[in-house]
Structure 1
Amino acid sequence: MMPLHVMIRRLQRLPVKHRVAHLRSLLAVEKPYSQRRSELEDLLQVEVLKQLKREIRAA
């Protein structure tokens, strides 16, 4: 299993839509109530908010 900080660094190169998709797929694999899952959920929330802000600005 890849450390979270390395994974975050690699995901930064991707567009926001792809980051969100990857984080959702990673969440699907994690066990419920694990520490890693909660960290991924927090990261997903940040990325979704970024995506929404960009969409609102574009509208």
Structure 2
Amino acid sequence: MTPLHILIARLKRLPAKHRIAHLRSLVAAEKPYSQRRSELEDLLQVEILKQLRREIRAA
């Protein structure tokens, strides 16, 4: 399993929408209530909030 810090570095190269989609699929692949899933969910929440802020600023 790829360490989370390496995964984050790889995801930074992707556009925001792709990054969110990949994080959603990674969260779905993890076992419920696992530590890794929790960390991925936190990262996903941060990315979604960033995207919402960008959309609000653009409006």
TM-score, normalization: structure 1? Answer: 0.97
The DSSP-based 3-state class of the residue aligned with 1:6 is helix
Give the match's secondary structure for 2:55.
Answer: helix
Sequence identity percentage? 81
> RMSD of the alignment, in Å?
0.4
Partner of 2:26: 26
Q: Secondary structure at the match of 1:55?
A: helix
Structure 2 unaligned residues grouped into runs of 5+: none
Alpha-carbon distance in 2 for matches of 1:14, 1:52:
17
Does residue 44 (structure 1) correspond to residue 10 (structure 2)? The answer is no
- Give distance in 1, aligned partners of 2:51 and 2:15: 10
In the alignment, which residue of structure 1 is the partner of 2:15?
15
- What's 1:57 paired with? 57
Moved over 2 A (4+): none
Which ranges of structure 1 fall in alignment gaps of 5 or more residues?
none
